[in-house]
Amino acid sequence: MNLGKKVIYQAYPRSFKDTSGNGIGDLEGIRQKADYFKKLGVDMVWINPFFVSPQNDNGYDIADYYHVDPLFGTDEELDKLIETFDEKGLGLMFDMVLNHTSTSHEWFQKALDGDEYYQDFYYIRDGKDGSYPNNWTSKFGGPAWNKFGDTDKYYLCLYDKTQADLNWHNKNVRKEVYKIVNYWIDKGIKGFRFDVLNVIGKSKDLKDSSGNIDEEKKLYTDTRIVHEWIEELNKNTFGKDEDIITVGEMSSTDVHNSALYSNPEGSELSMVFSFHHLKVDYKDGEKWTDASFDFKKLKGTLNYWQGEMQEHSGWNALFFNNHDQTRANTRFGDVDKYHYQTSTMLAQTIHLMRGTPFIYQGEEIGMTDPDYDSIGDYRDVESLNAYDALLAKGMSEDDALKIIKLKSRDNSRTPMQWNDSSNAGFSEETPWIRVNDNYKEINVKKALADKNSIFYYYKKLIEHRKEENLISDGLYFPILEDDENILAFVREYEGNVLVNFSNFTGKSLEVDLENMVDSYQEYEYLLGNYGRVEINKKINLRPYECLALIKRF
């Protein structure tokens, strides 16, 4: 399988399309849009968790891995979705949350009832010195431990307190995990995205950290045993079918481990998600801060990961957007003055790199962050916890809300904007979260009617990736590395060369092509968001312009 030819679309079920009238998107809504995915040209659709869940973390707290939560439909509708996608030649990628379960899961409930077999499915420990078993911090804030029923013990919960970490040291846990994955493979699922998979390797002793959060993460992130367990997962499940695509969401990972996870000569995963390039507007490493993004850090991070993963035969999942990030066009560009240019420039930057591109729903029509004016508009548990934490630090409500508006995961979770009718055509009832006010200007119906829309630009990018081996298989080399405004790179394959320029500013900039590439006269225009340009030794890049030139052998 050539991963470089693949493009994957992410559909966030809750916000994609509601057909049941409960204000929440559902599986039938995804099925009904199969032709939309085909028109765009993607190969596979990744669906966030739709399994039975209390929904304390929007489905990432799974209570039953084998059945559909009634919020999203029925098991029969899932079977119909799988069948329709198979008929259309589309793959489905399921989101598997295997680091933790909901505390509502049968395993945890049996553990609470005193079943020692299931108590060993989790990290359940005695307190220490009148406090928690160790000093670890939850990724959602507060201690990483919660009281285990009415006992004096605690269970580990690195995320929400209703998400109990599974004890992968227990071989019976691993057997249950393999059983789950194999069940869905047998149902015809051809892709798996594994949530926070690199934190499954906690040590048995769970020792205290120094108090430094970065040092603390190393105690449970990318540990050696994680690789052993992923290899075992591969061997016992998806590794038996070479057509299955896997991607690991790797929290706070590094290049060395990511290359090991995704090296085709190994036996772990197809590719990895890493997030370092999306932490470039974190002041002093803190997410919940008001800071402009650092362009040189963004460029340096992207170039570093491209180069190192190439050098060590790793494979990147390419993305700027997903359900856990604010919209990239709002974050890294100017959607007020240069909406089309910003959105297409960011798309071209990602889609011409080495790896497998992912498109997050609405990205392909240029959806933006909403302009919510009240904390009551937000639903995300992480955002609400952060708001309370900011207030507790003495910040005013207005200043705290400003930071939530900048960084909330809900920015990308607003309903998909299908048309300019009520609720953007997402639902006939009030949606679970407020629709972005700009849906009358930005929607699928309008995009499909305009051959020069952002949608059709994405379609062209996908077509080029499938047609050009230079894009799917070429080597990556950065250029203009010290430039403070332009991200530029070269792709090379069998004597063919592509050079891409992306202007990340709202001003015009000049580049000297003669000083960057050999025989610039031999290059041809391939793609750009301002249309065809004349190739001279000096080229003017307009605000948020992207330009790809190609020289064929």
Catalytic residues: 195, 249
The CA–CA distances, whole Å, from 158 to 287, 357, 389, 410, 490 equal 17, 29, 18, 21, 41
**Residue that the structure tokens 């505390």 belong to:** 103
- Alpha carbon distance, N-terminus to C-terminus of the chain: 25
Closest CA to 106 of 56, 66, 155: 66
The CA–CA distances, whole Å, from 31 to 143, 323, 409 equal 41, 20, 25
Cα 21 off chain centre by = 28
CB 499 within 8 A of CB 492: no
CB 38 within 8 A of CB 72: no
Q: What share of the chain is helix, strand, coil (3-state, %, to 5)?
A: 35, 20, 45
Closest CA to 139 of 223, 258, 251, 215: 251
| Tokens found for residue 394 | 């003495």
Neighbours of 114 (CB within 10 A): 10
SS3 sequence, 240-287?
HCCCCEEEEECCCCCHHHHHHHHCCCCCCCCEEECCHHHCCCCECCEC
3-state secondary structure at position 167: coil
| Tokens found for residue 479 | 């250029």
**What is the spatial distance between Cα 8 and Cα 356, in angstroms, rounded to a whole number?**
8
Which residues are CB-contacts of 239 (< 8 A; sequence separation ≥ 6)? 267
**What is the spatial distance between Cα 138 and Cα 145, in angstroms, rounded to a whole number?**
8
Burial of 553 (0-12, 13-18, 19+ CB in 10 A): exposed
Residue 492, Ramachandran bin (φ over 0: left; ψ between -120 and 50: alpha; else beta): beta
Which residues are CB-contacts of 115 (< 8 A; sequence separation ≥ 6)? none
**Residue that the structure tokens 């499954």 belong to:** 200
